[in-house]
Structure 1
Amino acid sequence: MKEREQNIGIVTKPIGKAGLNPLLHFIGIICSFSSFTYIITGGEGISVLRRKNYQNVHLLEIPYKYRSNICVRTINHVLMQLRISLKLVKLKRMVDVWIFFLDSHALLLPVLIAKLLQKKIIFAVAASLTKSAEANKTIFNKALIYSEAINFKLSDRIVLYSSNLIKEWNLEKYKDKILIAHEHFLDFNKFEIKKKLSERNNLVGYIGRLSEEKGVLNFVRAIPEILKERNDMEFLIGGDGQLRGEIEKYISGKNLNDKVKLAGWIPHENLPDCLNELKLVVLPSFTEGLPNVMLEAMACGTPVLATPVGGVPDVIKDGETGFIMEDNSPECIARNVIRALNHPNLEGIAENARALVERKFTFEKAVERWREILSRL
């Protein structure tokens, strides 16, 4: 079958705000060479997807509401898989390849159905469920881990952001079916340097999900240590998640309200302006794929300090295109924030970072790589 004749399907779990931009990017990539693209998804982004003027794209919505109660959540998860599976059967004559995107690689029933329908299956894996579950151990998450392992065995290809993740996520047994690619590309007319570092206030930021695996609590706990050395600093925490209440309590308990701003969710269209106010972005994650905000910060001329996880070391070279810290303990974060801010060539590092993302993270390069992956099925 010729590449241009392939009809490609994309499956995601219902997505929240954080998943919308990666999905929009991925749809744009796949649509550039798929004859028809079928998207099965749901959640907050469905209305945005409907307003997009995609050519030859068919959108199929999966209703789903998140519930914290474990029994209700389990039932809803099973019903969601049944609904997705029915869509797969309905589209059996229309789709040649199914790509399970974002966190959908634990959807066991739809994968089994796709396999029975003799369809090619690709997992585009942005995060390890096993690693994420280590920070939040529940019966529900344990079931997802088993589903993830079964699905990896059933897959035709597993696509990761970096070869570093093969060992980091314990995927060595699947190395023969693993390929490296990403959906990341930037609009450099939006993500640009609007304000030089020398013109910015001493504002250090974290932008991301407020959850255990992101290490955000360790960043918050590092703030008092940073202020002991640099009392001229202020901090911004952008994002939302289950740890917000705990973070608010810590900030109030340490009398940091005048030093720390909790910005909540930052709309993507406001992110370039926000990043141009920061002098340093800190990403203290326990586990990562390839964080969008890292690339967006670099495009805005904002240095990034991050842990060496996932695809981060492929992009950040310490002292050249950013800063790497040994671990994400509060002490290590504090020490490295001060090291980064005191670096004599911070402007040069910011320029190097901008040049790197301009070279490597374009729409054309992302399309070229995904076209190659689909041609090798």
Structure 2
Amino acid sequence: MMPKSVCIVMYGGPFDIVSHRLYQRLKILSSLVSQVYLIIEGMPKLNDIPPNIIIYDISSPKRFFSYIKAIFTLAKVCKQSDVVIFITGFPKIVTFVMQARLAKKKVISFAGGTAYKVFKARNPNSRIISKIVYILESLCFWLSDLILVENYESTRFLGLDKYISKIFPLGTLVYLNESFFKKYKKPSLRENIVGYIGRIEPEKNVISIIKSALHTIKKIRDIQFIIYGSGSQRDYLVNYVDTHSLEQYVKIMDWIPYEKVPEVLQNLKVLIHPSHTEGLPLTVLEAMSKGTIVITTPVGGLPEIIKDGSTGFIVRSGSPRDIANKLIDVLNLPPDELDRISKNAYVLVKSKYSLKKGISLWKKMLENLMGENA
């Protein structure tokens, strides 16, 4: 049995840089249920929104008023929804989760990462507040009927084993359109361009990519590092490049429009993803779909798809020297070996993370959830 109506809650916006992800979620859900409600703080501009979607943008100049608006809006929408899905805003949304439970609605929480680990990475000395964040986030998961994760590897990394009976491995919240799998180009035919695409925040550990360049260029001179993104550490990266005279080898670029991501990825030989904490980052899947070699830390759900030497490469510590050593080894591999690994990754993501596969998983997840009432 499928629910008739679903409410999605996204708090902590704006969400302009992930508008493509939001659009796909709305399209998937609107194709499966009669009515979709979206409560969001900071609605990005989207075209061709399906007619069975009603949007409530709770944005306000003052965060407090956004929070109050969310409470009243959720109270209204809960009366008309069978299921409430919380995607972002943990642990601040614990009040909303409790509200949905009190309204006797089915509650789903998405654990793409943990607010606790992100907060700890950004504030390593705030132990007491970190503990409070952990408790509130745990309460959100405890109150949920279902917890969505990318895969079971994510469950272990995020410390959600105790909720195993509630876990549903959704693969990812966003899937790859067929267009991503077109124009495959062997990495052996590409120049030595190494890149990163994403947020530039402490937990993403982007600075280690820049620092790794200092070691890498001693062994490989014909190489270029390009960082695409924005965030609190962007200026720090720019200053580091200037201070260490790396301008010839490292470029810090602005965030790129989503429609240009396939082209950018196809020009990279290697994508480095050195995060301290993750779920299953979409950029990695997109890189694999374009044949780009991925080097990543073993965090979140990544070890389940990146098998060292088979579908990509794992760098254990994420330190600059370890990244540099791994990158040098990868770039010195025989061309046919690089192409083999690239093709393995391409085949994997096409079989597991296509949009068609995503729709079937969302359908199965909702049927399982509502089946508990049957």
Report the TM-score when normalising by structure 2. Answer: 0.91
Whether the aligned pair in 1 keeps the contact of 2:10 and 2:89 (CA below 8 Å) is yes
Per-residue Cα deviation, 1:214-266 (whole angstroms, up to 9, x for no partner): 11111111110011111111110000000011101110011001211111101
Q: Cα offset for 1:296? A: 0.8
Per-residue CA deviations over 1:343-365 (Å, capped at 9, x if unaligned) read 22111211121111111111221
Q: How does 1:159-174 map to 2 (within 5 A)?
A: 159-174=148-163
User: 1:169 deviation in Å?
Assistant: 1.7
Supply the distance in 2 between the matched residues of 1:140 and 1:238 (Cα, whole angstroms): 32
For residues 32 and 241 of structure 1, what CA distance do their matches in structure 2 show? 34
For residues 285-339 of structure 1, give each alpha carbon's deviation from its aligned partner in whole angstroms, at most 9, with x where no partner exists. 1111111111111111111111111111111111111111112011110011111
Counterparts of 2:110 and 2:193 in 1: how far apart (Å)? Answer: 35
8 Å CA contact retained: 2:228, 2:254: yes
Report the CA distance shift for 1:144/1:20 in structure 2 as closer, same or farther (over 3 A).
farther
CA distance in 1, matches of 2:48, 2:133: 32
Pair 1:321-2:311 in alignment: yes
CA contact (8 A) 2:19 2:45 kept: no
The offset of 1:212, in angstroms, is 0.8
Match of 1:154?
Answer: 143
Cα distance, 1:63 vs structure 2: 0.6
Taking the TM superposition and a 5 Å limit, the aligned residue runs for 1:294-333 are 294-333=284-323
User: What is aligned with 1:26?
Assistant: 25
List aligned pairs for 1:329-348, cutoff 5 A: 329-344=319-334, 345-348=337-340
Indicate how the Cα distance of structure 1 residues 237 and 357 shifts in structure 2: closer, same or farther if over 3 A, else same: same
Aligned position for 1:269: 259
Give 3-state SS (helix, strand or coil) of 2:278's partner. coil
Distance 1:61 1:84, change over 3 A: same
| CA displacement, residues 15-36 of structure 1 (integer Å, 9 cap, x when unaligned) | 3333322222222221221110
The within-5 A match list for 1:216-295 is: 216-295=206-285
In the alignment, is the contact (CA less than 8 A) between 1:82 and 1:109 conserved in 2?
no
Of 58, 63, 68, 1:62 maps to 58
In 2, the alpha carbon distance for the partners of 1:77 and 1:371 equals 34
Aligned pair 1:114/2:133, yes or no?
A: no
Q: Does 1:52 align with 2:15?
A: no
Amino acid across the alignment from 2:364: E
For residues 56 and 350 of structure 2, what CA distance do their matches in structure 1 show? Answer: 34
Q: Give the match's secondary structure for 1:52.
A: coil
Give, in whole Å, the separation in 2 of the partners of 1:226 and 1:314: 28
Do the aligned partners of 2:36 and 2:52 also contact (CA within 8 Å) in 1? yes
Corresponding residue for 1:68?
none
Could you tell me which residue of structure 2 aligns to residue 72 of structure 1? none
Query: After superposition, where does 1:72-83 map in structure 2 within 5 Å?
Result: 76-83=62-69
User: In structure 2, how many angstroms separate the alpha carbons of the residues matched to 1:312 and 1:363?
Assistant: 19
Q: Is the CA contact 2:195–2:270 (under 8 Å) kept in the aligned structure 1?
A: yes
Match of 1:70 in 2: none
Tell me what 1:359 maps to: 351
Tell me the residue number matched to 1:15.
14
Distance 1:131 1:319, change over 3 A: same
Does residue 83 of structure 2 align to residue 97 of structure 1?
A: yes
Unaligned runs of 5+ in 2: 370-374
The Cα shift of 1:275 comes to 0.8
Question: Residues 258 and 332 of structure 1: is their aligned pair in 2 closer, same or farther, counting only changes over 3 Å?
Answer: same
Q: Secondary structure at the match of 2:307?
A: coil
Cα distance in 2 for residues equivalent to 1:356 and 1:318 = 14
Q: Is the 8 A contact 2:186 2:342 kept in 1?
A: no
SS in structure 2 opposite 1:236?
strand
> Is the contact made by 1:193 and 1:299 (CA closer than 8 Å) also made in structure 2?
no
Correspondences of 1:165-184 after superposition (within 5 Å): 165-181=154-170, 182-184=172-174
Q: Tell me how far 1:166 sits from its aligned partner.
A: 2.3
Is the Cα–Cα contact under 8 Å of residues 187 and 293 in structure 2 kept in the other structure?
no
What fraction of aligned residue pairs are identical, expressed as a percent? 33
Structure 1 residue identity aligned to 2:105: K
Aligned AA (1:164)? E
Contact 2:210 2:250 in 1 (8 A): no
Could you say what the CA RMSD is over the residues aligned between the two structures, in angstroms? 1.9
Q: How many positions carry a matched residue from both structures?
A: 362
Q: Secondary structure at the match of 2:298?
A: coil
Post-superposition offset of 1:116: 1.4
TM-score by length of 1: 0.91
Distance 1:170 1:77, change over 3 A: farther
In structure 2, the residue matched to 1:71 is none
Determine helix, strand or coil for the equivalent of 1:366: helix
- Partner secondary structure for residue 47 of structure 1: coil
Deviates further, 269-278 or 362-371: 362-371
Residue identity in the other structure for 1:365: K
